[in-house]
């Protein structure tokens, strides 16, 4: 069996199935290659392209901010920071006297004649300044609607395409955006999210062009582990440029520039993206490369790692011990790891999402129904919009398998790769035809970053606490609190980032009275209770990934001497789960595999 994973999306036209280990499910049929794009910044013409040379210009709906104030993050103490800024920019900043709860964050006051936005730009250019932004003001309404036009040419037109971000069919991003603005951490400012994928169109270099809607996105510690490696702790190739479009799409979902009057929105739009290329131009990568990428991301300050990749169905943890070890290491270091469940129509979740220390994410449609392709099973934690059509296996009122439902949109290359054609790395569009659990996973990665930034779980929440919060605030689908089709339900970022609310989910607990006659020395009657394991929700790393239970999944015990057992009718109650963090990193072994 191959240990090469694949990205999650639609199968290439005419392949009829997997192409060795590549399984390029994102390449599109010819009928969809025209895409949905715009000509120019605000044109509504379908089929046009965004030029990489276009600058995303600001619109009228900018977020209001406090006059004469900047929020600045640096490792320097306040006095040294003020002196450093004055000497390097000539701007006479002063301490504002206002404190900040965020580590390393200071609120500085500017001269009355100084432009706030110009000062922010000047400070961001200084080495050692993690971020410098205006002190944004939240509206009382609690929701924030950016001005990005999408393909409509009108302010706020992004909602027409990004149904996955809005309520009730999506994840309620506007409420979450408003929550974080009120917390003075708009767009998860200060949080680092590593995107381990096919690379990202994050900069201009040779024939490669930066995606035009990454103009305001911050990228840090880039590394190409397909063309390079890690030597003495240093990445030997610092240019993880996308050759496929998949990584650019995922990174855009997380942190595409937002409220800039151009293109679409990103969920955690002020987070820093760490692009790490672990998949080649065909969308395949080895377990050892991905494991190296996970460890690199942890070493360089990632707080969340997104893995929109899957290994072939049937792959076991024992076949990818290097990656399981790296994931356990990340979890032990407090890093949230998110992965897509898989697009195989299967009743089991693929690795790496099936690993206990990973948040496994399935996909839903605009009907809030399970997507037809989405893998399910005991390892599933949450679902998020992945687009495409409804599953025919779900028989509820909101599922309509015969309907033709919308895809997921984000800016990426104008033409996707096929077996016979490479992408154009300098042309971008809002392309149709993208759906899959790859599109759902970055929603959850963004949500994790936004929960961290919101402070609702404190300054340094553990991966288990973050997962518990996301599960506790999810919208239940298909009736049961926890089920193998939807996990704990549809991600709700608005609720997850709001003050108060539940910190842990509820799980059904079945209590059974069992009468056991033994052949040892006595006959006894003993009540037993089958409950979720102590290490719940998912995210607890254990030495043996093959035997570690997932969130809310139940384990039992086998009596040693029993020969006859009679069980009474069970009763079910609902109790909150217990979140316990127990991490044991395993020893890494690196294995490079080839396509079968």
Within 13 Å and on the Cβ side, how many CA atoms surround 105?
Answer: 21
- Number of CB atoms found within 10 A of residue 167's CB: 16
Within 13 Å and on the Cβ side, how many CA atoms surround 538?
Answer: 29
Cα–chain-centroid distance for residue 536? 20
Identify the H or E element spanning 512: strand 506-518
DSSP conformational letter for 487: B
Cα distances from 484 to residues 88, 106, 247, 362, in angstroms, run: 57, 46, 28, 10
**Annotated catalytic residue, options 197, 242, 350, 381:** 197
CA nearest to 561, candidates 536, 595, 532, 524: 524
Contact criterion met (CB below 8 Å) for 200 and 298: no
CA distance 378 to 167: 27
CA distance 365 to 9: 14
Q: Is 99 helix (H, G, I), strand (E, B) or coil?
A: coil
In the chain, the N- to C-terminal Cα span, in Å, equals: 6
Give catalytic status of residue 454 as yes or no. Answer: no
CA nearest to 147, candidates 252, 272, 42, 255: 42
Identify the H or E element spanning 523: strand 523-530
**Annotated catalytic residue, options 96, 438, 445, 446:** 438
Q: Is 37 helix (H, G, I), strand (E, B) or coil?
A: coil
Contact criterion met (CB below 8 Å) for 273 and 247: no
CA distance 330 to 307: 13
Give catalytic status of residue 460 as yes or no. Answer: no
**Annotated catalytic residue, options 2, 3, 172, 246:** 246
User: Vertex 326, ends 505 and 451: CA angle to 5°?
Assistant: 35
Give catalytic status of residue 272 as yes or no. Answer: no
Residues acting as catalytic residues: 197, 246, 438
């Amino acid at each position: 069996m191959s240990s090469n994973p694949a990205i999650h999306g639609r199968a290439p036209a005419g392949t009829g199935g997997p192409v060795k280990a590549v399984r390029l499910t994102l390449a599109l049929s010819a009928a969809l290659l025209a895409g949905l794009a715009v000509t120019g910044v605000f044109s509504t013409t379908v089929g046009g392209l965004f030029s990489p040379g276009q600058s995303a210009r600001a619109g009228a709906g900018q977020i209001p901010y406090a006059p004469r104030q900047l929020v600045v993050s640096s490792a320097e103490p306040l006095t040294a920071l003020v002196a450093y800024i004055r000497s390097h920019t000539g701007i006479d900043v002063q301490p504002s006297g206002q404190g900040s709860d965020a580590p390393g964050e200071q609120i500085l006051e500017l001269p009355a004649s100084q432009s706030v936005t110009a000062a922010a730009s000047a400070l961001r250019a200084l080495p050692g300044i993690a971020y410098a932004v205006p002190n944004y003001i939240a509206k009382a309404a609690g929701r924030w609607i950016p001005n990005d036009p999408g393909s409509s040419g009108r302010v706020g037109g992004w909602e027409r395409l990004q149904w996955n971000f809005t309520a009730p069919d999506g994840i309620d991003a506007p409420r979450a955006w408003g929550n974080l603005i009120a917390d003075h951490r708009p767009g998860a400012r200060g949080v680092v999210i590593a995107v381990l994928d096919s690379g990202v169109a994050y900069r201009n270099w040779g024939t490669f062009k930066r995606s035009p809607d990454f103009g305001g996105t911050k990228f840090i510690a880039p590394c190409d582990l397909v063309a390079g490696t890690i030597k003495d702790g240093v990445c030997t190739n610092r240019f993880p440029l996308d050759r496929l479009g998949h990584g650019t799409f995922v990174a855009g979902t997380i942190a595409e520039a937002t409220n800039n009057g151009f293109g679409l929105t990103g969920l955690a739009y002020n987070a820093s993206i760490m692009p790490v290329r672990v998949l080649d131009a065909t969308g395949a990568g080895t377990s050892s490369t991905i494991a190296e990428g996970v460890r690199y991301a942890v070493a360089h300050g990632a707080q969340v790692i997104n893995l929109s990749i899957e290994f072939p169905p049937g792959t076991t943890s024992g076949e990818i011990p290097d990656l399981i070890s790296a994931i356990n290491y990340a979890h032990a270091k407090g890093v949230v790891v998110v992965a897509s469940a898989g697009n195989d129509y299967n009743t089991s979740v693929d690795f790496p999402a099936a690993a206990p220390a990973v948040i496994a994410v399935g996909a839903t449609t605009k009907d809030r129904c399970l997507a037809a392709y989405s893998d399910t099973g005991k390892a599933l934690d949450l679902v998020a919009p992945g687009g495409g059509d409804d599953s025919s296996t779900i028989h509820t009122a909101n599922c309509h398998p015969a309907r033709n439902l919308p895809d997921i949109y984000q800016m990426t290359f104008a033409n996707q790769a096929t077996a016979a054609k490479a992408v154009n790395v300098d042309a971008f569009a809002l392309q149709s035809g993208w759906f899959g659990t790859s599109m759902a996973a970055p929603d959850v990665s963004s949500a994790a970053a936004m929960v961290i930034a919101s402070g609702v779980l404190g300054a340094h929440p553990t991966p288990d606490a973050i997962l518990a919060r996301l599960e506790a605030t999810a919208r239940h689908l298909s009736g049961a609190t926890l089920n193998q089709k939807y996990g704990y339900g549809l991600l709700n970022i608005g609720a997850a980032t709001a003050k108060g609310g539940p910190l842990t989910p509820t799980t059904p607990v079945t209590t059974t009275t069992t009468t056991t006659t033994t052949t040892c020395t006595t006959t006894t009657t003993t009540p037993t209770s089958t409950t979720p394991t102590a290490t719940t929700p998912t995210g607890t790393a254990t030495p043996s990934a093959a035997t570690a239970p997932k969130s809310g999944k139940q384990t039992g015990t086998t009596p040693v001497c029993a020969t006859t057992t009679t069980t009474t009718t069970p009763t079910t109650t609902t109790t909150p789960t217990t979140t316990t963090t127990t991490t044991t990193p395993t020893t890494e072994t690196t294995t490079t595999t080839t396509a079968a």
